[in-house]
A and B are shown apart, each in its own frame.
Chain A
Amino acid sequence: MTRRFSRRNFLNRAALAAGAPIFQIKPLRGVDFLLQNSPTPRKFLIETMPGGVALFDYNNDGLLDLFLVNGGKITEALHVPENFARSDARYWNRLYRQNRDGSFTDVTQSAGLANAGNGNYGMGVAVGDYDNDGLPDLFVTNYGRNTLYHNNGDGTFTDVTAKAGVAGGGWSVSAGFFDFDNDGHLDLFVTRYMDWDSDHNKICGGDWHTYCPPGTFPATTCLLYRNRGDGTFEDVSVPAGITAKKHRALGVAFADYDGDGFTDIFVSNDGMQQFLFHNNGNGTFTEVGLEAGVAFTADGKGLSGMGAVFQDYDNDGKPDIIATVLPREIYPLYHNDGGGLFTYQSLEAGLGSITSMSSGWGVGLEDFDNDGWKDLFVGQGHVLDNVQQIDASLSYKEVPLLAMNHQGRFERADSGVATPLSARGVAFGDINNDGWMDTVISTLGGPPVLLLNRGGENHWLSIKLRGTRSNRDGYGAVVHVNGQTRFATSAGSYLCANDKRLHFGLGSASKATVEVIWPSGETQVLKDVAADQFLEVAEPERL
């Protein structure tokens, strides 16, 4: 694909030259979605936690489509068994198909995605082609029963939850597809927050009347499903060792941190230590957060972990971890030192100054200026809707954090969002296929916010993997391009599924060397790859 030179590009470049922010807020034409979190005076904790965003191409037309997870209706009279009125169209999740002109069309009903079940309050979404048919499927997490939607390839989805055996239960939050046993079939990990229901809700803060901290409620465990390859999954949470320790999990991100060829799992927990599940390669995991150095801050303090990203921020080829947390904690950055060890490096990376007063949720490491270094973007906003009354130095709504990566050190930049948001989920992708990464943010009680990248002069490369022996999406592959590394996944952030294409900024380089290490173990090298294109790389078939 050649680089487009249009009036829009020219104007964007002129704006950037004049010091304009990288992003500009653009209306999502055709999207009339409002995230119905339904806050009540009873301060049900679920109200402040949704909602998910997925950027994925469900109809394989080359354009990213948008799936938005809705909350549900909550009234003060809510009691077990809860009814969230999800059959009411106001509380549906929504699928919007992107049209060629950049507008969107609501196809929820025709796609068979209306009515997520009255007993479910929506949380997040994961995207993966679990049956390797070349079509991305959807997994929606809820407080209640989770739902797996199989993509039929004709613009419709079928709820296959019961057949697949992945309904789970309780309070599920973030989820992600990954292939933990490298058998070519995507497995599924689901974080669960706590053991909670509306009959056991509590109100905290005395006269302030606030949502309660997580420690008020009993901890729970996460779910790991192994894909049998026949359209069904087996709950292997217990034998795999995932349930050995209870937790209050919100975020999940995947990467092979120790280079042993098996994808590991980082789980961000709220109000306690963070977990790193090392994949033992035999179907089991060992939680090694403390030993690996990612459980606490450098001061041995617990964190209010929410979102998480597991990518290489300093271009040393090893995946690092950034989680989002509450104010006065500083977003932890765990640098992967190799040998299975991490070091807390938030301060050295510049996050001390720019994150210590913020509440972070969705998070991504993407190269927004295509200079070859992954920048940091975080959707922000406090958990408590009355926090400003309690502490005037904090805010319920915040502008997102955009921090540009200058060779491993982050510096705050203007995100282009002047009006503070109560942001939660943030999904990343190149929505307009211009080679510059964009983002969509979900906001409590509000519409999603689209931030379009103004673009610039640098070169880029976008890689779509097509696994053959490995899973079709290529999740778990390690891709090196001109000294940069990405770990193929659409998971991470908070509640969201990102564009699965792997984006690389190339700076002034017009060519690239691409090395793909597939989950199957196959290594593939492509030399002299032209910049500024969407490249599909297919895994070589077995000889």
Chain B
Amino acid sequence: MGWFFFLWLAGQGGSPDALQHVRAGLEARKQRQVDTEIAEFRKATEIDPHLADAFVNLGAAFMEKRDYGAAIAPLKRALELSPDLPVAHQLLGYALLSQGYSAEALPHLQKVSALEAAGIAQLDTGQYPEAVASFTAVLAQRPDDPDLLYYLGHSSGLLSKSAIDTLLAKHPDSARAHQALAENYYVLRQMPQAETEFKEALRLRPELPGLHLELGQVYANSAQWPKAEEEFRAETKLQPGNGEAAYRLGSALLQQGKPQEALDALKRSNEVKPDMPETLYSLGKAASLTGDAPTAEKSWLRVVELEKDTSLAAQSHFGLAALYRKQGKTPQAQKEMQEFQKLQSTIGPPRSQ
């Protein structure tokens, strides 16, 4: 807390005795004698109870000693005497925040644009949108700060939960409420309940984009592929431009051993959302199963162009190795297998889901 050393009198008048103690306190601060510092500043405030700078420095000394509770009173007094003193606002904001008085701390922190601390106070006081805005603003300056990343994630989650709670409280019978419940069940892997809620949402608003896609994923999770296919197909009709829906449809068709239909869906997915590695990998797989070796090769080669050190890249090398092996291209097959094994040793073997 280096700023303590630079606190100095703001220039207003005071009794000479009081100012002498202030100077002694500042000298003690330089010597890192915090108890002497506190004693000197306290004497200054006793001699001149209207000397704001003495109170600020006393508060700062308590802060330096990490006695945040004791810092609050002198800092408050300083602001009574000099309401616009930025350092006092900042220190009082921190002191109050550290003692759990987040609501009281917030205006002081906002006054001096202490955004990170303000964000924490906003989080504590349930002002989630404001907290998200504060953390986002600070992250722009310090994008890799782990504390900031944590707080942004945490506040975003709480904001999301708060919105859903409001939705469920105010519109419990709406399609969106059922969708939200369904998504929650899905995360908890309670698939029968998720299915029921998604179906109810669809009954209420069959045209709502995304519902069929989500219900399809419920079925896919429990390997009910024909039902999953039906839902993904419905989503692709509703949203022909949704690349993910087409990809999911292709995957469901692949699982059912319908490679030609899967190939069509995956080509469509790649058209509307080009170069999605998952789509390209599955496209290669479907093409390979239908005997369309050129498309399989092209798709997998594109994956390894896009992805270098991922399991999808490893899988694509493995697919290419099998493809070349079948074609009798032994050197290429060996090269791809070596790439697969190399990736296995670095990123670990691809595991089934």
Contacts and interface: CB of A to CB of B under 8 A. Distances in A.
B119 interface: no
A352 B349 contact: no
B347 to A, nearest CB: 12
If over half of A's interface residues share one DSSP class (helix, strand or loop), that class is named, otherwise mixed; here it is loop
Given A299-B318, A302-B350, A329-B352, A392 B223 contact: no
**Of listed B221, B254, B351, B352, residue having the most chain A CB within 10 A:** B352
A393 B255 contact: no
B259 interface: yes
A348 interface: yes
Contacts of B315: 299-301
**Which range holds the interface residue count of chain B?**
20 to 34
Given A293-B325, A341-B325, A302 B352 contact: yes
A293 B344 CA distance: 16
A392 B189 contact: yes
Nearest to A391: B189
Nearest to A325: B352
A356 B251 CA distance: 14
B257 A348 contact: yes
Contact of A328 (B191, B317, B352): B352
Interface in A336-360: 337, 341, 343, 347-350, 352-353, 356-357
B256 interface: yes
Given A290-B337, A293-B322, A391-B189, A349 B257 contact: yes
Contacts of B189: 391-393
A300 B314 contact: yes
Given A302-B352, A409-B257, A341 B314 contact: no
A392 B322 contact: no
Interface residues of A, number: 33
A384 interface: no
A347 B221 CA distance: 17
Interface string B242-270: 00000000000011110100000000000
Given A293-B325, A356-B255, A298 B285 contact: yes
Contacts of B226: 353
A148 interface: no
A353 B225 contact: yes
Nearest to B334: A291
**Of listed A273, A301, A348, A391, residue having the most chain B CB within 10 A:** A301
Interface in A378-414: 391-393, 409
A303 B322 contact: no
B223 A353 contact: yes
B254 A343 contact: no
A297 interface: yes
A296 interface: yes
Nearest to B316: A300
B31 interface: no
Contact of B225 (A272, A273, A352, A391): A352
B53 to A, nearest CB: 56
Nearest to A328: B353
B222 A357 contact: yes
A326 B255 CA distance: 16
Interface in A396-434: 409
Nearest to A271: B351
B250 to A, nearest CB: 12
Contacts of A357: 222-223
Contacts of A302: 349-352
Nearest to A292: B325
A320 to B, nearest CB: 16
Interface in B194-241: 221-223, 225-226
B216 to A, nearest CB: 15
Nearest to A296: B318
Given A301-B351, A353-B225, A356-B223, A347 B322 contact: no
B257 A299 contact: no
Interface string B334-353: 00010010001000011111
Contacts of A299: 285, 315, 318-319, 350
A273 B318 CA distance: 13
Contacts of A392: 189-192
B289 interface: yes
A11 B299 CA distance: 56
Nearest to A353: B225
B222 A298 contact: no
A297 B314 CA distance: 13
B259 A348 contact: yes
Given A300-B314, A328-B352, A347 B254 contact: yes
A348 B253 CA distance: 11
**Of listed A293, A298, A300, A325, residue having the most chain B CB within 10 A:** A300
Contact of B326 (A296, A326, A341): A341
A347 B250 CA distance: 13
B350 A301 contact: yes
Given A352-B256, A391-B189, A392-B191, A301 B325 contact: no
A420 B259 CA distance: 33
B340 A300 contact: yes
A357 B224 CA distance: 9
A260 to B, nearest CB: 19
A300 B192 CA distance: 32
Contacts of A300: 314-315, 317-319, 340, 344, 349-350
Contacts of B254: 347, 352
A303 B350 CA distance: 10
B289 A347 contact: yes
Contacts of B344: 300
B326 A393 contact: no
A252 B340 CA distance: 27
Contacts of B259: 347-348
30 contacts: A272-B349, A293-B325, A297-B352, A299-B285, A300-B340, A300-B344, A300-B349, A300-B350, A301-B315, A303-B352, A326-B352, A328-B352, A341-B325, A343-B326, A347-B254, A347-B255, A347-B257, A348-B289, A350-B257, A352-B225, A353-B226, A353-B256, A356-B255, A357-B223, A391-B189, A392-B189, A392-B190, A392-B191, A392-B192, A393-B222
Given A302-B349, A356-B255, 4 more contacts: A272-B349, A300-B340, A347-B254, A352-B257
